[in-house]
Structure 1
Amino acid sequence: MPARARTRLTAEVTDFSHHSGAFADRPIEMLAELRERGPVTWSTAHDGFWVVTDHRDVIDGLADYGRFSSGFGPAIPANPFGTRHIPVGIDPPAHTTYRRVLNGWFGKAEVNRREPEIRALVEEIVKGLRERGSWDFVTDLAEVSPGAVTLGILGWDASRRVELLDVMARGLRNAAATDPGTVARNEAGDRWIREQILAEAAERRAHPREDLMTVLATDPIIDGAPMSDEEVSDTVVFLLLAGFHTTSGALTALLVHLARDPQLRARLDADRRLVPEAIEEIVRIHAPVTALARRVTEDTELGGVAMTRGDWALFVNLAANHDPAAFPDPQTVDLDRNRAKSVAFGWGVHRCMGLHLARLILRVEVEAVLDLLPDFEIDLGRTVRSRHLGIGWFYDAVPARLPVSPSVATPGSRA
């Protein structure tokens, strides 16, 4: 028997796929069942990969970029928008160089400086919802403000948000597709987005501005030279994907949770200081990024199983944050719990670069909704959770409205 086959017999073998409809139907339960079978299991799906569901093993693996490399892409199967996303798709020391360039734009001080403009943007959007009386929190808020903020930092025209979102959402929904026609459409979408990025880069080289796109296109970064077109493209693809989608998913998860937990909503209504803690707890429970892929760089061991160089491993953030050994009663919202080891925003050197921006946008959005739409009602019967939870915890529809005031009967009228 070949050595690779022998090592895999030490672990439970499953056909688990995080992109399947079965997983979308009962994600928390399925991950708990996997963890019960073993902290690390072998899945035969997507040409085979390790599934890591135990919190301790997830943080150990994500922290160890020497044994578990990001350099082959963050997704299983490969992301339809490429595998070398910068900086998340590369390891130190190059990762450190690229991230240093971006940190100035996404660090806490810079994000706090932008709060007034972000708040003004969000409040304008939410006031529009109030005037309409009914809306969908997905398409009318969650998919609007994060994308607009991201494009603003890059210096792109915010009106391009819709076409960019459409191409990215279609690609991510079909990330695991094998149908040749769908794969071809994904490839066409990737080419189109990269063409838009390089057109923006060329424009900045000709006409520099005070924006991140100009920095990426013109500033000396590696050995005194600017990024290549490929590097610029790989960086901006990552910023667009992360900026548009993860914060969007987190907001809708939070609002749906509030609709199902009126006591928590009442607490936030009474004390806005609890909003940041509620955000952290909700993103722990409903991870904006379901899992992160790594490539095994050497024959090694994790969670009691032997792994072989070249194997793929999927570190499931969602499972780690529901591990009762790390978070007692993990599905319960506890605003006072210790979340220092939550992996909602990743772990190790690749921990989410935009977490400060995401936290700010989410806080401002929640505060605006509670302040300006105090009586909003979500129609839970028509709320639709995504069938593609392998990417992150998303909703396709979260319809909502303000209550309709009963008409006042006039004398002589019929009730």
Structure 2
Amino acid sequence: MATTPDVVVTDFDHHSEAFAQRPFEVLTELRERAPVAWSTAHDGFWVVTGHQECVDGFADYATFSSSAGPAIPVNPFGPRHIPVALDPPEHGMYRRVLNEWYSKAAIARREPEIRALVEGIVGDLAARGSWDFVPDLANVSPGAVTLGILGWDPGRRRDLLDVMSRALRSQGSKDPEALARNAEGNRWIREQILAEARQRRAHPREDLMTVLATEPIAGGRALTDEEICDTVVLLLLAGFHTTSGALTSLLVHLERNPDVRRRLEQDRDLIPDAVEEIVRIYSPATAHARIVTRDVELGGVSMHKGDWTLFVNMAANHDPDAFEDPEQVRLGRDRARSVAFGWGVHRCLGLHLARLILRLEVEAVLDLLPGYRIDLDRVVLSDHMGIGYVYLSVPARLPQEA
């Protein structure tokens, strides 16, 4: 892309430590300079930070295509995650099958079992007296629930999480050793998926993995091994990471804002509203990439066919043109325009599951860990925001008895 004098050029890199140290400030400064700018990072891409521009881009899937993958640079586990890396009408063919497992009604039926799981995990924390909310809760329940839907052994959660986390932390790296490790991780996780698929073909069960491995999904035919891998990789990545990031962001925010915590303690019905506000502000999915399919103008700049574009959800949700006092948590706010869970045809498949898990986790923490305190001096925020607003450590404890 040849820039013109009216295009703002930046070195913005969503994978950089500089961005992770002050993400909100960096995005605000960039949006105020230009809601659409050209970044020289990662071989060049458009970075879109204005709310209206993000909504317009997400809505126009024909021009801003997902077909080249949802990440810049390419995700370590491949570019073709199904269905997010597909456009209509092909996208709908695969999504319909998954919707049966992730619809609001389907997730509501799972509430008793998910509640029991979460309360068991949080009850163990109470017995210990001190813990870390990241490895001991946030990284446990979402992965266990996702594996339960697929029909995998929940005990495999830690190995899968380790491989995915290591690869995503080095997604922006050009170090040959890191790239080699990521390639090996990709091979390993796909081997695990295909082993599960072979098992279901021999011994079908009542789980999503059996559906993906055996049923005619793609226009009347069964999925290929590659399609199965591309679908399950997406479910694992999304199911393990984004909900974890949202929970820890919410809990740290409550520690820093005790007035909000008191309101939730006094009225549990406010928890879903608090979840939505935290997800809007601390976007667990920071941004989504698209590739331009035709010459087009967006936000006053001319884009060309083949250009990469990064729509930054986090920036859009902090745009004062869309939300009054966007940095403030306001229970009862109208969030109809929030893009925290995406927008348009690619709106998050797992949003109902994420909302349920987060509500049940917060309820369990407030009910079973009365008076808990987070040690804010020891909280560690990730130095890599390319995959979302994520904490690495959130140590906490119950108050010591007198």
- Structure 2 partner of 1:172: 168
User: Does 2:379 correspond to 1:388?
Assistant: no
Per-residue CA deviations over 1:274-296 (Å, capped at 9, x if unaligned) read 00000000110000100000000
C-alpha distance in 2 between matches for 1:398 and 1:81:
28
| Paired AA for residue 110 in structure 1 | A
- Structure 1 partner of 2:137: 141
| Paired AA for residue 91 in structure 2 | H
- Structure 2 partner of 1:324: 320
User: Does 2:73 correspond to 1:41?
Assistant: no
C-alpha distance in 2 between matches for 1:9 and 1:193:
46
- Structure 2 partner of 1:197: 193
User: Does 2:147 correspond to 1:151?
Assistant: yes
C-alpha distance in 2 between matches for 1:386 and 1:47:
24
Local SS of the residue matching 2:309: strand
C-alpha distance in 2 between matches for 1:11 and 1:390:
24
C-alpha distance in 2 between matches for 1:20 and 1:315:
17
Q: Do the aligned partners of 2:15 and 2:385 also contact (CA within 8 Å) in 1?
A: yes
Kindly name which structure, 1 or 2, has the bigger radius of gyration based on alpha carbons: 1
Task: Within 5 Å, give how 1:352-367 maps onto structure 2.
Answer: 352-367=348-363
Q: 1:393 to 1:125 in 2, by over 3 A?
A: same
Q: Do the aligned partners of 1:321 and 1:344 also contact (CA within 8 Å) in 2?
A: yes
Task: Within 5 Å, give how 1:6-405 maps onto structure 2.
Answer: 7-405=3-401
Q: How far off is 1:400 after superposition?
A: 0.3
C-alpha distance in 1 between matches for 2:116 and 2:69:
36
Q: Do the aligned partners of 1:8 and 1:306 also contact (CA within 8 Å) in 2?
A: no
Q: How far off is 1:345 after superposition?
A: 0.5
Q: 1:8 to 1:145 in 2, by over 3 A?
A: farther
Q: How far off is 1:405 after superposition?
A: 1.1
C-alpha distance in 2 between matches for 1:223 and 1:243:
26
Q: Do the aligned partners of 2:245 and 2:388 also contact (CA within 8 Å) in 1?
A: yes
Q: How far off is 1:243 after superposition?
A: 0.2
| Paired AA for residue 239 in structure 2 | G
C-alpha distance in 1 between matches for 2:231 and 2:304:
30
| Paired AA for residue 320 in structure 1 | A
Q: How far off is 1:201 after superposition?
A: 0.3
Q: How far off is 1:221 after superposition?
A: 1.1
**Over aligned residue pairs, what C-alpha RMSD do you find?**
0.7
C-alpha distance in 2 between matches for 1:9 and 1:239:
43
Q: How far off is 1:222 after superposition?
A: 2.0
C-alpha distance in 2 between matches for 1:255 and 1:36:
30
Local SS of the residue matching 1:314: strand
Q: How far off is 1:359 after superposition?
A: 0.1
| Paired AA for residue 313 in structure 2 | N
Q: Do the aligned partners of 1:15 and 1:43 also contact (CA within 8 Å) in 2?
A: yes
C-alpha distance in 1 between matches for 2:206 and 2:361:
26
C-alpha distance in 2 between matches for 1:119 and 1:189:
32
Q: Structure 2 unaligned runs (5+)?
A: none
Q: Do the aligned partners of 2:132 and 2:394 also contact (CA within 8 Å) in 1?
A: yes
Per-residue CA deviations over 1:119-176 (Å, capped at 9, x if unaligned) read 0000000000000000000000000000000000000000000000000000000000
Q: How far off is 1:55 after superposition?
A: 0.2
Q: How far off is 1:9 after superposition?
A: 3.4
TM-score (norm 1): 0.96
| Paired AA for residue 201 in structure 2 | R
Q: Do the aligned partners of 2:93 and 2:219 also contact (CA within 8 Å) in 1?
A: no
Q: How far off is 1:8 after superposition?
A: 4.1
C-alpha distance in 2 between matches for 1:400 and 1:94:
46
| Paired AA for residue 218 in structure 1 | T
Q: How far off is 1:223 after superposition?
A: 3.0
Local SS of the residue matching 1:195: helix
Runs (4+) off by over 3 Å: none
Local SS of the residue matching 1:66: coil
C-alpha distance in 2 between matches for 1:201 and 1:11:
49
| Paired AA for residue 147 in structure 1 | G
| Paired AA for residue 224 in structure 1 | G
Per-residue CA deviations over 1:341-360 (Å, capped at 9, x if unaligned) read 10110111000000000000
Q: Do the aligned partners of 1:8 and 1:42 also contact (CA within 8 Å) in 2?
A: no
Q: Structure 1 unaligned runs (5+)?
A: 407-415
